[in-house]
């Protein structure tokens, strides 16, 4: 196991559920001051006048150990009186807001309305949920994942939840990039002298990671940082662990394979961690110049998350 005192700092880039699992594993084995996590805000949207930020809340609830594990989003020990009351008023019900979850949306919406930046709101919520690592939104300005589909252009949640990922996707783009910047704390973390590695957690590359990498100037800043960039594959043996990744890759005419993941990141990644099931592709991937590491990357239990996090740290702190 890595000697934690000499780890240095790690910057994790995280999207939905898979990303949060690895950040949790890293949180469990690192000193709080050595770990920061950037969260995707491309899924954010306004609903019932509330600022909803699903990947932020998935990360907050997972790190605070209050997440609803079966559901994959929202909180456990939840009640649904608000949602039932909305239904009785004939309001839309496709996006379910639990009673405890509602407090998070109200807190965030009010803070934003009184002038806080999204970074400030996330720092406040982290403190309220007792989270010690630093959580940073990818940007304080709105960037939204939009999907061109056979039923029209949809904002992310209308594709993912309202239409249950059924529409056929022909293109994904991000609105707001012309006026968005990486969050200040994001740029500071990248410039941090003790930063040892940037870790792309196993999140959907198109929906959760691409919005981050599309931020103006960010790719260059990552390349210029000279830091080790470690990718943890969200694809195992040609199947996506969760969510619409596989369906999206098919519709975008991309093979659902770790080869595609390697191609997506080969310009910036120094290392890629793939599952042992894909070990046969390691040699081919290595031709791209990345160091390929095979291990069990399926995270079910906390032990899995800590073990994988330990292997990520070994790579992050490797001296060469």
Is residue 311 part of the contact set for ligand FO1 (CB under 6 A)? no
Looking at 34, 43, 158, 251, which residue binds ligand FO1 (CB under 6 A)? 43
Residue 161 CB, nearest distance to ligand FO1 (Å)? Answer: 4
Please report the beta strands in the chain, taking only residues with DSSP state E, as ranges in sequence order.
9-14, 35-39, 45-47, 50-52, 134-137, 144-149, 152-155, 169-175, 195-200, 228-232, 235-236, 239-240, 271-275, 291-295
82-101 binders of ligand FO1 (CB under 6 A): 95-97, 101
The region of 50-58, 190-198, 248-256, 286-294 touching ligand FO1 under the rule CB under 6 A is: 50-58
Contact characters 235-274, ligand FO1, x per CB under 6 A: ----------------------------------------
Q: Which residue, chain included where needed, has tokens 């589909």?
A: 149
Residue 282 CB, nearest distance to ligand FO1 (Å)? Answer: 29
The region of 51-59, 106-114, 217-225, 275-283 touching ligand FO1 under the rule CB under 6 A is: 51-59
| Distance (Å, whole) CA 296 – CA 303 | 12
Q: Which is nearer to ligand FO1, 43 or 278 (CB)?
A: 43
Looking at 73, 82, 107, 129, which residue binds ligand FO1 (CB under 6 A)? 73
Is residue 80 part of the contact set for ligand FO1 (CB under 6 A)? no
Q: Which is nearer to ligand FO1, 144 or 228 (CB)?
A: 144
Q: Which is nearer to ligand FO1, 160 or 265 (CB)?
A: 160
Chain residue at closest Cβ approach to ligand FO1: 16
Residue 253 CB, nearest distance to ligand FO1 (Å)? Answer: 23
195-234 binders of ligand FO1 (CB under 6 A): none
Task: Give me 117's structure tokens.
Answer: 């930046």
Is residue 16 part of the contact set for ligand FO1 (CB under 6 A)? yes
- According to DSSP, residue 73 is labeled S
The region of 24-32, 47-55, 109-117, 128-136 touching ligand FO1 under the rule CB under 6 A is: 47-55
Residue 60 CB, nearest distance to ligand FO1 (Å)? Answer: 9
234-237's contacts with Cβ under 8 Å and 24+ in sequence apart are: 234/18, 234/202, 234/203, 234/204, 234/205, 234/261, 235/260, 235/261, 235/278, 236/275, 236/277, 236/278, 236/297, 236/298, 237/275, 237/277, 237/278
Is residue 58 part of the contact set for ligand FO1 (CB under 6 A)? yes
Q: Is 36 exposed, middle or buried (0-12, 13-18, 19+ CB in 10 A)?
A: buried
Phi and psi torsions of 109, nearest 5°: -65, -45
CA dihedral 43, 152, 265, 12 (to 10 degrees): 0
Residues in the chain: 320
- According to DSSP, residue 229 is labeled E
**Strand 144-149 and strand 152-155: pairing?**
antiparallel
Looking at 57, 140, 141, 271, which residue binds ligand FO1 (CB under 6 A)? 57
Looking at 2, 29, 30, 55, which residue binds ligand FO1 (CB under 6 A)? 55
How many beta carbons lie within 10 A of that of residue 217, not counting itself? 11
Is residue 158 part of the contact set for ligand FO1 (CB under 6 A)? no
Q: Which residue, chain included where needed, has tokens 């783009």?
A: 173
Pick the closest to residue 41 from 96, 112, 103 (CA basis): 112
Under DSSP, is residue 159 helix (H, G, I), strand (E, B) or coil? helix
- Site residues for ligand FO1 per CB under 6 A: 16, 43, 52, 54-55, 57-58, 73-74, 95-97, 101, 157, 160-161
């Amino acid at each position: 196991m890595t000697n934690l005192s000499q780890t240095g700092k790690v910057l994790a880039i995280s999207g939905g559920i898979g990303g949060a699992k690895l950040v949790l594993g890293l949180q469990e084995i690192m000193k709080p001051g050595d770990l920061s996590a950037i969260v995707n805000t491309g899924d954010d949207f306004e609903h019932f006048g509330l600022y909803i930020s699903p990947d932020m809340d998935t990360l907050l609830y997972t790190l605070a150990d209050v997440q609803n594990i079966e559901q994959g989003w929202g909180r456990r020990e939840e009640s649904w009186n608000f949602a039932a009351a909305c239904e009785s008023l004939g309001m839309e019900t496709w996006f379910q807001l639990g009673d405890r979850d509602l407090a998070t949306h109200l807190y965030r919406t009010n803070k934003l309305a009184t002038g806080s930046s999204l970074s400030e709101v996330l720092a406040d919520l982290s403190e309220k949920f007792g989270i010690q690592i630093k959580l940073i939104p990818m940007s304080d300005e709105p960037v939204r994942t939009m999907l061109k589909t056979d039923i029209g252009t949809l904002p992310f949640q209308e594709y993912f939840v309202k239409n249950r990922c059924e529409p056929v996707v022909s293109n994904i783009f991000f609105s707001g990039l012309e006026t968005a910047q990486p969050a200040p704390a994001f740029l500071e973390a990248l410039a941090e002298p003790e930063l040892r590695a940037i870790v792309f957690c196993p999140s959907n590359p198109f929906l959760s990671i691409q919005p981050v990498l599309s931020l103006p100037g960010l790719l260059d800043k990552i390349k210029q940082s000279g830091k080790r960039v470690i990718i943890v594959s969200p694809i195992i043996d040609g199947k996506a662990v969760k969510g619409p990744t596989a369906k999206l890759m098919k519709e975008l005419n991309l093979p659902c394979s770790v080869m595609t993941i390697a191609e997506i990141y080969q310009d910036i990644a120094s290392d890629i961690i793939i599952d042992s099931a894909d070990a046969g592709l390691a040699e081919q991937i290595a031709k791209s110049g990345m160091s390929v590491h095979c291990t069990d990357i399926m995270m079910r239990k906390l032990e899995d998350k800590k073990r994988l996090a330990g292997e990520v740290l070994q790579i992050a702190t490797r001296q060469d």
